Amino acid sequence: MLGPLQPLVDMVTSPLFLMIVLFPGLTSIAIIGALLGWLERKVTARVQLRIGPLYASPAGGILQMFADLIKLSFKELFVPENSDAFFFIMAPTTGLVIGAALVGLIPFAPGLQIANIEVGLPAFLAIITLSPSLVLLAGWSANSKFPFIGGLRALFQQTAYEIPLWLSALGVIMMAGTLNLAQIVAAQSTGWFIIPQALGAFIFLVTSVAEMERLPFDLPEAESEIMMGWQAEYPGVLFLAAQGPGFVKLYAFSALFTTIYLGGFLGPSLLPPLFWMLSKTLVVIVLIMLLRSTFPRVRLDQLLRAGWTTLLTLAIVNIGITYLLVVGLPTF
């Protein structure tokens, strides 16, 4: 019927292409990331008894981030002198790719998952491990003092949260007996893991907030101390590319938290699974945003000490509790 264009039309309408381009892929990530920027401003404003964005649309400034996007993308693009231009531009754009890759691993509904791989949960945590290295690279390449300090802080911060993050995820793996995220959701059909894994969920939430570099753990970009840290030198559209991964990671981590602790897309069948998945994710996102607007920033030595003592001990205690729940008292 369409002749030579038929293969192209087949590709554009294939399910995988739809998922990658539309949902849960690139288009939805861009739109949701921008909407989260608006939501964050509104939630913070509500907590601090302000109004927040108001004028950018009839519906309470919901288009504010899109207006910012247009403004930033039409600013002059220049690279500061003596900086390493390749790494300076490469680091934030690669950060965007990493954030989008995370969303591809999440099962949003039965079958609505871009990459259903056997090692979904470790793959998610392994991909996210790359992002502090990119922050360090961005800070180093800018040839400026504030970005350099911010990059080093990101490096130290990673050592504080990384091991408790992995060990708290181990509790879920022990309960489910699988690394596949879709099968972890299926294992929760008898009960959500947040009840037996309450301690693990708490550690996972705290460490994932530290991983996302959000308040109270936003040391690498601490606005009031080191002037946006590693993002200080980024102009216009590159600043957008440096800010974007933060919101994409917030979305991806909240979706992962929902998947492994809150039963993912499971819920009463009067509404579609996608609705349950997205509404639970939204609740987790708002919770993380409330942490941002209520807690002050910790110091780096406090974070390191808490990560290596309190969080690590609690993670090992959580493994012990999970062992008792799964196997029972050992007899040796």
Partner 1 sequence: MVAQGIPEIGAYIGFLFVSTVALIIVLRLLITPRDPRPTPEKKKPFESGQIAVGPGRTRFIIQYYPYLLMFVVYDVIAMFLFAWGLNLRALGEAGSLPVLVFIIVLLIPLGYALHLANHRENW
3-state secondary structure of 263: coil
162 is a contact residue toward partner 1 (CB under 8 A): yes
Which residues 119-138 are close enough to bind partner 1 by CB under 8 A?
122
**Which range, of 176-184, 195-203, 258-266, 276-284, touches partner 1 by CB under 8 A?**
176-184
- Closest approach of Cβ 157 to partner 1, in Å? 10
115 is a contact residue toward partner 1 (CB under 8 A): no
Please, where are the H alpha helices in 5-84? 6-12, 15-21, 26-47, 64-73
When the beta carbons of 158 and 188 are compared against partner 1, the nearer one is: 158
Structure tokens at 258: 């929902």
Q: What is the CA radius of gyration of the chain?
A: 21
> Which residue among 5, 6, 74, 302 contacts partner 1 (CB under 8 A)?
74
Burial (0-12, 13-18, 19+ Cβ within 10 Å), 73: exposed
**Which range, of 10-18, 96-104, 204-212, 281-289, touches partner 1 by CB under 8 A?**
10-18
Which residues 212-271 are close enough to bind partner 1 by CB under 8 A?
227, 232-233, 237
Q: How many Å apart are CA 282 and CA 264, to the nearest integer? A: 12
Query: For tokens 């979305």, what's the residue?
Result: 251
- Closest approach of Cβ 317 to partner 1, in Å? 11
When the beta carbons of 72 and 291 are compared against partner 1, the nearer one is: 72
Using alpha carbons only, what angle is made at residue 224 by residues 47 and 139, rounded to the nearest 5 degrees? 120
> Which residue among 19, 100, 103, 209 contacts partner 1 (CB under 8 A)?
19
317 is a contact residue toward partner 1 (CB under 8 A): no
Which residues 46-65 are close enough to bind partner 1 by CB under 8 A?
none
Query: Is the CB of residue 68 less than 8 Å from the CB of residue 36?
Result: no
- Closest approach of Cβ 82 to partner 1, in Å? 7
- Closest approach of Cβ 178 to partner 1, in Å? 8
305 is a contact residue toward partner 1 (CB under 8 A): yes
Long-range contacts of 273-276 (CB under 8 A, 24+ apart): 273/108, 273/109, 273/110, 274/108, 274/109, 274/112
